[in-house]
Amino acid sequence: MSHGSTHDSPIKPADLRGILKYVPMFRDHIFVIALDGSIVEHENFANTVTDIAVLRSLNIKVVLVHGIGKQLRDGAERAGIRPSDIYGEGPTDAKTMALAREASALVSQVMQEALSQAGLKCAVTNAVRATESGVIRGKDMIFTGKVEKVDTALLKNLIALDVVPLVSPILCSREGTSLRVNSDLLAAELATALGASKVIYLTPYPGLTVDGEPELNLSLDALRAVLAARKSGNIEERLLSKSRCAVRALENGVARAHILDGRILGGLLTEIFDKVGLGTMIHANDYEQIRQARKKDARAIHNITKQGVRNEMLVQRTLQYIEQHIDNYFVYEIDDSIIGCAYLRDYPGAGAMEIGSVYVQPFYQGKDVGRKLVEYGELAAAKRGAKKLFALTTQAYGFFHGVCGMEDGTPDDLPPGRRDELKAGGRNSKVLFKKLSPEKKKPVRA
């Protein structure tokens, strides 16, 4: 491109400013990205590699795993051989193994070509060691193997050198035998061993569809329940393996798993950075959490509640006020960002506490965060001996009443000091309250 000719690029230099907000989001996180063999062969693959280059430019560390299902099937067809297994889940006989080695070499080469074209350094290593699966339910798995050990130091050193490790599903054992390993499982094990924050499966399917309904977001518990209650046709057969591996990765500390269509232009970046995404994201249950606010949260609380104050939904609190009363605040945190907050105010001697400043960032509204914050407040107030929790609101009556189950009250239900404050404030807020019982334990997902 000649200097100054921007007509062949849809991006204007000024657009680059917008990228800044993405820079800190996942800086230094490790993402393990697993591509099905058919995705490497798809015409969108070069675009996917460009997306990977964008991730790298944002300092996200990437490890790539690939499958070989399609290439193995095609190779077997060409050779007129009936493969003993395609996905590394059943026994791999010697003939299938020979084809699998060829398929793996081919896919790996295609990936290296695309990565080279995108200006990314990559390395194929023997950092993951396999061992024979042995005999399972009476069946000799022959050349099918499982991950024995991950040399995380080797992989992390490569990543530190700006090299993208490329891991194929044909691994070597300690004795130097090649073994066929299922690539979904391989990705999950790598993500676990490397402490990755995401494992991302790029598939030829538009994410998980449970009973015909596409799922954008599933909690680990919800996915476990779907798998346990599996009736035929509940989840697409080929996505079952990915779902099980996603569960396994999340159970072992990986925060999120994504299953999405790798054939869509910009799909990978959309899934990661768009608020809605396009595939299915499975999140660990301990990921969204409510905790007591700390001093350093005061500014974030002040910032996020500003919008509510502007719309007269919340009473204005200065930063100093929040700092001084930080112990009364609790926050809902996702990915180290505070996305919601609330505070509890005590009225000693009145047996009552007030929940206030309940605020959820607009994008996260309607996802149960507000209800959980109020539930958490109820539990915390009951624990501190309060018999009643009340709330004053001008614009969220329906939320406190309909969603949180609070009852209509009058200013007479308030502790005297608060009643006077209400009168003096002139906000004409509605009063709601809830009786608390210390025995009642509500499940709060923290």
Give the binding site for ligand COA (CB under 6 A): 308, 313-314, 356, 358-360, 365-371, 393, 395-396, 398-399, 403
- Quote the CA–CA distance of 128 and 150 in Å, as a whole number: 5
Helix (H, G, I), strand (E, B) or coil at 71: helix
Reference 167, options 69, 36, 65, 32; nearest CA is: 65
What is the separation of C-alpha 110 from the centre of its chain, rounded to a whole number of angstroms?
Answer: 29
CB of 400 to ligand COA, least distance (A): 8
CB of 404 to ligand COA, least distance (A): 8
- Quote the CA–CA distance of 411 and 418 in Å, as a whole number: 9
CB of 338 to ligand COA, least distance (A): 13
Residue number of the CB closest to ligand COA reads 370
CB of 340 to ligand COA, least distance (A): 7
CB of 76 to ligand COA, least distance (A): 51
Cβ distance to ligand COA smaller for residue 224 or 372: 372
Helix (H, G, I), strand (E, B) or coil at 341: strand
Report the DSSP beta bridge partners of residue 201: 34, 259
Is residue 112 within a helix (H) or strand (E), and if so which, with residue range? helix 94-117
Question: For the packed helices 183-194 and 237-251, what is the interaxial angle rounded to 10 degrees?
Answer: 20
Cβ distance to ligand COA smaller for residue 338 or 360: 360
Cβ distance to ligand COA smaller for residue 83 or 377: 377
CB of 429 to ligand COA, least distance (A): 9
Cβ distance to ligand COA smaller for residue 239 or 358: 358
Cβ distance to ligand COA smaller for residue 236 or 368: 368
Cβ distance to ligand COA smaller for residue 35 or 369: 369
- Quote the CA–CA distance of 132 and 147 in Å, as a whole number: 9
Cβ distance to ligand COA smaller for residue 204 or 409: 409
Cβ distance to ligand COA smaller for residue 299 or 427: 427
- Quote the CA–CA distance of 373 and 377 in Å, as a whole number: 6
CB of 375 to ligand COA, least distance (A): 9
Residue 31 near residue 60 (C-beta atoms within 8 A): yes
- Token pair in block for residue 39: 């995705």
Question: For the packed helices 94-117 and 45-57, what is the interaxial angle rounded to 10 degrees?
Answer: 60
CB of 288 to ligand COA, least distance (A): 11
Is residue 121 within a helix (H) or strand (E), and if so which, with residue range? strand 121-124
